[in-house]
Structure 1
Amino acid sequence: MREKFIEFRNVSFRYGEEQPWVLENVSFEIYQDEWVAIIGHNGSGKSTIAKLMNGLLYPQEGEILINGMPVNDEHVWEIRKQVGMVFQNPDNQFVGTTVQDDVAFGMENRGVPREEMVTRIDEVLKAVRMEDYRLTEPHRLSGGQKQRVAIASVLAIQPAVLILDEATAMLDPKGRKEIMRTVSEIQAKNEISLITITHDLQEVVQAERVIVMNSGKVWEEATPREVFAKKDELRKIGLDVPYIALLADELKRNGLEISTEPLNHEELLEELWTLHSKM
């Protein structure tokens, strides 16, 4: 049985005493090696949750525990070693003059021995398929390549949790697909917890569990299939539904007895093939 790694206990947060609550009485748990997607409309509190996990913000009410440690001034630097974050715009994370310098930066700050740094740089650049660009200046890379380097820089510090905060939002569909394939492989190989904060429905359906935020509160926690079964309710709170789920509903209305809630093309084709075989 997996152990809890992140715990939000009745957490509330706002950006100033006169401001409305961005998060209000939020509680949830995320387990070791789990992939959780956090979704919600703009302003629902998703990115604030990410910053609270990393100690970039502290809650005004409630408590956050990372691997049993409360997020506060006493533990924040230890927590940041365990929680790595990749943001929407990778340019904001570059500090080195070359790709390998950028990957090395976080390790240098943590006092990693040089021999170990060289090994880790090789490993993480290979993991994100950027080993051929180690001496390239970051500004010469494409958007997808920059995001791969940003992910490699975070992986180099060997976090227990990787947070992608809209990290694929600036990429084209092909770039998003490639990045998420890479991240999925890394998550499985390294057995880290993965938290994706996203509007991309194809990313959401890959997760083990989904936390849906609405107006600063947890609206739902369930598997992607269970969440997207609530199509009408999701639309009411301003969220989209995967096209395949809508297509399946239309087929049902036209008399096809589709028994599941398909989340991708493969599942829908399998369902249709099963129906065809029975005819």
Structure 2
Amino acid sequence: MEKRIVTFRNVSFRYRESLPWVLNNVSFSINADEWVAIIGHNGSGKSTIAKLMNGLLTPQEGEILVNGTPVTPETIWEIRKNIGMVFQNPDNQFVGTTVQDDVAFGLENRGFPRKEMVKRIKQTLLQVGMEAYTLHEPHRLSGGQKQRVAIAGVLAIAPQVIILDEATAMLDPRGRLEIMETMHHVKEQHNVSFIMITHDLKEVVRADRVIVMSEGKVVEIAPPRDIFAKKEKLQQSGLDIPFVAKLVDELTKLGTKLSKEPLNHDELLEELWTLYLKR
């Protein structure tokens, strides 16, 4: 049986009593070492989920558990040792004058010995491909490089869960690809759960499961392939359908039957090539 690392039980939240619910009776669980993408249109409640997990907000109803421990004012500091967050704008997270100083910040706050700090800084910068920028000033880096440093800073404290809250939203296509490759590389080397908050369906391909949010409610939980197959439901949730999914839809209307829902261009080409060889 898989270990549940994060659990939401009938969670509801609103910022003020006079305002509508941002989250309305939300329930789901995330397993250890799992990559989960939480997607939805702007205002669907996905970023609020991230803040509730980390104790930045407190729900009015329901319960949130991390490693089986309820998130409360009494437990929050211990829980935050196991959850790291990477935000949309990395400049808001930088506190050090150099890359290595910034990665060291979280370690210093937790009282790590200097020898261990030096080791972790070197290891994590290597893992995110930023080892050559140790003495660079963070504000002089590109957007993708800044986010990789932010990931290194979180990774250094060895959390069980890393939340990326719209971490690629301010990046160009190359920067987004850099971050996705970095996440994939880190996931291969560490026992860590990734929770990726996004509204870009192209970024959920590598996730194990996808949670679709709409109007503060969970409307679907499934693997990416199953999510992409439900195009009408995605559109009803205010999400843009990826180009590959749109192309598959048009091919289906023309009578082309594929054996599975392709997640990307490579899978689509493979499916079409297989059909061609069968003729």
Q: What is the TM-score normalised by the length of structure 1? A: 0.98
Asked whether the 8 Å contact 2:39–2:200 carries over to 1, the reply is no
1:81 aligns to what SS in structure 2? Answer: coil
Q: 1:270 maps to what in 2?
A: 270
In the TM superposition, what is the alpha-carbon distance from 1:260 to its structure 2 partner? 1.6
In the TM superposition, what is the alpha-carbon distance from 1:2 to its structure 2 partner? 2.0
For 2:216, the aligned partner's letter is G
Which is worse superposed, 197-206 or 210-219? 197-206
Residues 19-73 of structure 1: CA deviation (Å, up to 9, x unaligned): 1110011000000000000001110100000000111111111100000111111
For 2:129, the aligned partner's letter is R
- Structure 1 CA distance for aligned equivalents of residues 131 and 70 of structure 2: 37
Structure 2: gaps spanning 5 or more residues: none
For 1:144, the aligned partner's letter is G
In the TM superposition, what is the alpha-carbon distance from 1:169 to its structure 2 partner? 0.8
Identity %: 70
For 2:208, the aligned partner's letter is E
In the TM superposition, what is the alpha-carbon distance from 1:131 to its structure 2 partner? 0.9
For 2:46, the aligned partner's letter is K
- Equivalences for 1:13-92 in 2 at 5 Å? 13-92=13-92
- Equivalences for 1:89-238 in 2 at 5 Å? 89-238=89-238
In the TM superposition, what is the alpha-carbon distance from 1:225 to its structure 2 partner? 1.1
For 1:235, the aligned partner's letter is Q
Asked whether the 8 Å contact 1:242–1:263 carries over to 2, the reply is no
In the TM superposition, what is the alpha-carbon distance from 1:237 to its structure 2 partner? 2.0
Residues 169-215 of structure 1: CA deviation (Å, up to 9, x unaligned): 11111111111111111012102000000122221121110000010
2:80 aligns to what SS in structure 1? Answer: helix
Q: What's the Cα RMSD here?
A: 0.9
Structure 1: gaps spanning 5 or more residues: none
Q: What is the TM-score normalised by the length of structure 2? A: 0.98
After TM superposition, which residue ranges in structure 1, 4 or more long, deviate above 6 angstroms? Answer: none
- Structure 2 CA distance for aligned equivalents of residues 169 and 198 of structure 1: 8
- Structure 2 CA distance for aligned equivalents of residues 31 and 237 of structure 1: 25
